[in-house]
Structure 1
Amino acid sequence: MKTICLYFEIHQVIHLKRYRFFDIGTDHYYYDDFENERSVSEIAERSYMPALDTLLQMIKDNGKAFKVAFSLSGVGIEQLEMHAPQVLDKLQELNNTGCVEFLAEPYSHGLASLANEESFRSEVKRQANKIKEYFGQTPKVLRNSSLIYSDEIGLIASQMGFKGMLTEGAKHVLGWKSPHYVYNCALAPSLKLLLRDVRLSDDISLRFNNSDWEGYPLFADTYMAEIAALPNEEQVIGIFMNLSALGIEQPLSSNILEFFKALPACAKQQGITFSTPTEICMKLKSVDNLYVPDTLSWMDEERDVSTWLGNPMQREAFNKLYSIADRVRIANDSRINQDWDYLQASDNFRFMSTKPSRVGMDRGIYDSPFDAFTNYMNILGDFLNRVNTLYPADIDNEELNSLLTTIRNQGDEIEMKSKDISNLQAKVEKLEAEEDKLRTLIEEKAPAKKATTTKATVKKTAKKSAVKKVEKPSTEES
């Protein structure tokens, strides 16, 4: 039986402000807050909220028959927390249906997997913790930024305990093979790979509203009939896209949401189900290794990383940024960490791209790729100075790590001693309270005991007096 794995990515571009060379060293805030708030609010209103409302209604109308998966970048969650918390509330409402799975991905939506393994691991763990905090789910499947994948990245994912990973069903990797099977990582057979069907995904996310496209207009029954016509043994159809495709890339006026609403009923008529990535990884066996020695992604015709690293400007910025990755991770300074996350976001490198692309790109404040490069390098120059000022460049990473470890150990020791002091103070206070209570009790009993003693003494004295009177004869009797 065929099953559809429907997945949506949610990430927000962090807009940098215009930053001049002369700002280096004097201005350490790099972001256009107005543009960030405006863009998040706009996409929430035009895309996220209506799309999520539709998906929630589809679950309610179809019960457990309709399922969907999401992943959210950590920086995307931060932007939604500040400017559109209603989106997170709606996602939690979807989560409560039990028909939604949340996946892991790098916190920054950056390219750490191509440069620094420890940074990549750290980012994925942080984002997974954020997902656990919001939705109570511990992600079992990983989705790297823009579906970036290679055999080495798959091995890292397997070592981190993930059961599966999403990536692109690129022709130059698959060759004659179909993307409609479960494969496994060539270096880690236990890691299953779910592949995106490029054509079926792009029919919705890129071509749906294109009146010049030969498949226009696309209807839900036609779409499902095409999936049903695939060979019987091809069981898994991965439909992966950005959630912004519903409302931004494909405007609501195109009836994109009505198309989605009709999918479950049309799928049921064709005997097609919906499954989450983890369900597929648990139920279906891998049919073969998938060898991916060179990195692939879901971007552009090449399906590689040239979108971010295709020209000398991009590579210079990339190498400069990740040259301090270890120092940033070792230092673990909260303000530095936040800027590090935002500067890593892959959008910064995409704005520098000189490649022609069939996917439209809004460069924002930048007039050209060189303009984007210049602005980013000015900001990066200030950031590097801050890192080196905080921890001088003449201290190598090993020495810095040792120094910070010593400081942290001393901090831990001080914390332990502080706890011991607090415990002793608590014990002293408890003993003093018990002493006060005992003293009060003694004082309360003391007057009663004294009164009893006095009464007994008076009685005894009176008795002795009476005895003396009896023993001594009166004068008259003598």
Structure 2
Amino acid sequence: MVSVCFYFQVHQPYRLRRFSIFDKQPQYFDEDANRNILHKVANKCYLPANRTLLDLVRRYEGRFRISYSLTGVLIEQCRRYCPQVLDSFRELAATGHVDFMAETYYHSLSFLYSREEWTEQVALHRKLLQDVFGQTPTVFRNTELIYNNDVARAAADLGYKAVLCEGADHLLGYRSPTYLYHPPGEKRVKLLLKNYRLSDDLAFRFSNRDWAEWPLTADKFARWVHQVNGNGYVVNIFVDYETFGEHQWADTGIFEFLRHMPEEVFKLPDNDFKTPAEAAAAYPASGEYDVPHMISWADTERDLSAWLGNAMQSNALHELYRVEQEVKQHGDPAVLEDWRKLTISDHFYYMCTKYFADGAVHKYFNPYDSPYDSFINFMNVLDNLRGRIGTQRAGRLTA
């Protein structure tokens, strides 16, 4: 038996408006850009993909099952700008065959800088899922699949039964991501590892005509899944939801692939679909997966260099978390909310200076002319926020 686990990450950040040292009012976020981008992605991806997947869940009477992680800031923006998107996710939840997983509310790097803030953001996100979808998640995924052994232990301490992470070749060695594992010395939680080859085939190579396996058809994908029989339990396909319609446009055939894929998987014996929670309950851990240093699912390095690869990023993050306790002691909910929106990992992703194999990806998502512009803009906003809590420092950066 091989179970296909589809997990989709759904996130949109609060993008900052252009903010100079001469701006005094604490209006940091670009309402127009955030609204327009959400509407664009909703029409190209969220709404058509949700309709397609809802039809599949109903057609196969629950045999086709999927899982999502929606960040808190994505849900907030859907409520404000595009409520029909949130309604369509509620429809999926109401089927009883779609799970929603836990993560940090603000899609932040808080685990790296403040365990207190990380715990609070995870709790906020858990409550939001209960309120919006009536679900209490049992599976955790950290922001951008940032993971080491400590993440698993911290998630286990909060009661989670499974954690998602990257199936890194240099850590797996001869082993396969088609098995479940547990962290060293920690049996309370199981690990489901992303099958990055098959996931990236779908997310990045699907429309690449130079790829030796192009075109990726539903029956070809099903055959690849079937080959795992006898060599594992799961095929974990973890991708950004924007893969469907935004990164891979509709004219590539990506939605047709989705529509036909379950049928092709079911044609071959001993295959099914499970959510990560169901897979964790159904299959045993086959050994330890030891991750002493941080990994992620980002870029070719699968490390933290997308957010911590240069001095600008390190400085911005250090300065942001340095004022955490002052912000919380200040007691103003509006200041705390703005500070937490600044913890969104995208702000630091925009400061990345990598322009080789991953440069096109970084430039595609980046609203700034350069990483330096992103850094200056962010620090101007942070400096204004520090002024609101009475910790204004000299030497403001010039725009």
TM-score range, shorter chain: over 0.9
The 5 Å alignment of 1:155-304 reads 155-271=153-269, 272-304=271-303
Question: What does residue 340 of structure 2 align with?
Answer: 341
Question: What does residue 113 of structure 1 align with?
Answer: 111
Matched, 1:42 2:40: yes
C-alpha deviation, 1:326, in angstroms: 2.9
Alignment RMSD = 1.5
SS in structure 2 opposite 1:268?
helix
The sequence identity of aligned pairs, in percent, is 37
C-alpha deviation, 1:332, in angstroms: 4.7
SS in structure 2 opposite 1:287?
strand
Structure having the higher Rg: 1
- Structure 1 residue runs without a partner (length 5+): 394-478
User: d(CA) in 2 for partners of 1:225 and 1:171?
Assistant: 23
- Indicate how the Cα distance of structure 1 residues 305 and 95 shifts in structure 2: closer, same or farther if over 3 A, else same: same
Matched, 1:5 2:5: yes
C-alpha deviation, 1:358, in angstroms: 5.7
Contact residue 146 and residue 297 of structure 1 kept, 8 A: yes
Contact residue 8 and residue 238 of structure 2 kept, 8 A: yes
Paired residue for 2:55, among 54, 57, 60? 57
The one-letter code sitting in structure 2 at the alignment partner of 1:382 is N
SS in structure 2 opposite 1:388?
coil
Paired residue for 1:127, among 125, 128, 135? 125
Deviations 1:169-190 (A, max 9, x none): 1112212211111111225221
Question: What does residue 323 of structure 1 align with?
Answer: 322
User: d(CA) in 2 for partners of 1:216 and 1:379?
Assistant: 45
Deviations 1:112-144 (A, max 9, x none): 011100100100010110000011100111011
Contact residue 140 and residue 278 of structure 1 kept, 8 A: yes
SS in structure 1 opposite 2:164?
strand
Question: What does residue 142 of structure 1 align with?
Answer: 140
Question: What does residue 396 of structure 2 align with?
Answer: none
TM-score (structure 2 length as normaliser): 0.95
The one-letter code sitting in structure 2 at the alignment partner of 1:383 is L
Contact residue 150 and residue 296 of structure 1 kept, 8 A: yes
SS in structure 2 opposite 1:338?
helix
The one-letter code sitting in structure 2 at the alignment partner of 1:347 is D
- Indicate how the Cα distance of structure 1 residues 274 and 332 shifts in structure 2: closer, same or farther if over 3 A, else same: farther
SS in structure 2 opposite 1:38?
helix
SS in structure 1 opposite 2:9?
strand
C-alpha deviation, 1:211, in angstroms: 1.2
Paired residue for 2:375, among 373, 379, 382? 373
User: d(CA) in 1 for partners of 2:354 and 2:189?
Assistant: 33
Contact residue 112 and residue 119 of structure 1 kept, 8 A: yes
User: d(CA) in 2 for partners of 1:276 and 1:266?
Assistant: 19
- Structure 2 residue runs without a partner (length 5+): 394-399
Question: What does residue 25 of structure 2 align with?
Answer: 27
Contact residue 233 and residue 283 of structure 2 kept, 8 A: no
Contact residue 154 and residue 185 of structure 1 kept, 8 A: yes
The one-letter code sitting in structure 2 at the alignment partner of 1:371 is D
User: d(CA) in 1 for partners of 2:329 and 2:125?
Assistant: 19
The 5 Å alignment of 1:59-74 reads 59-74=57-72
User: d(CA) in 1 for partners of 2:17 and 2:208?
Assistant: 34
C-alpha deviation, 1:64, in angstroms: 1.7
SS in structure 2 opposite 1:3?
strand
Contact residue 221 and residue 266 of structure 1 kept, 8 A: yes
- Indicate how the Cα distance of structure 1 residues 159 and 165 shifts in structure 2: closer, same or farther if over 3 A, else same: same
C-alpha deviation, 1:386, in angstroms: 1.6
SS in structure 2 opposite 1:376?
helix
Higher relative contact order, chain-length normalized (CA < 8 Å, sep 6+): 2
User: d(CA) in 2 for partners of 1:113 and 1:236?
Assistant: 28
SS in structure 1 opposite 2:99?
strand
Question: What does residue 355 of structure 1 align with?
Answer: 354
The 5 Å alignment of 1:409-424 reads none
Paired residues in the alignment total: 389
Deviations 1:201-234 (A, max 9, x none): 0111111111111111110101110121125131
Contact residue 2 and residue 226 of structure 2 kept, 8 A: yes
User: d(CA) in 2 for partners of 1:78 and 1:147?
Assistant: 22
C-alpha deviation, 1:337, in angstroms: 2.2
The one-letter code sitting in structure 2 at the alignment partner of 1:303 is R
Paired residue for 1:383, among 382, 385, 399? 385
Question: What does residue 397 of structure 2 align with?
Answer: none
The one-letter code sitting in structure 2 at the alignment partner of 1:48 is Y
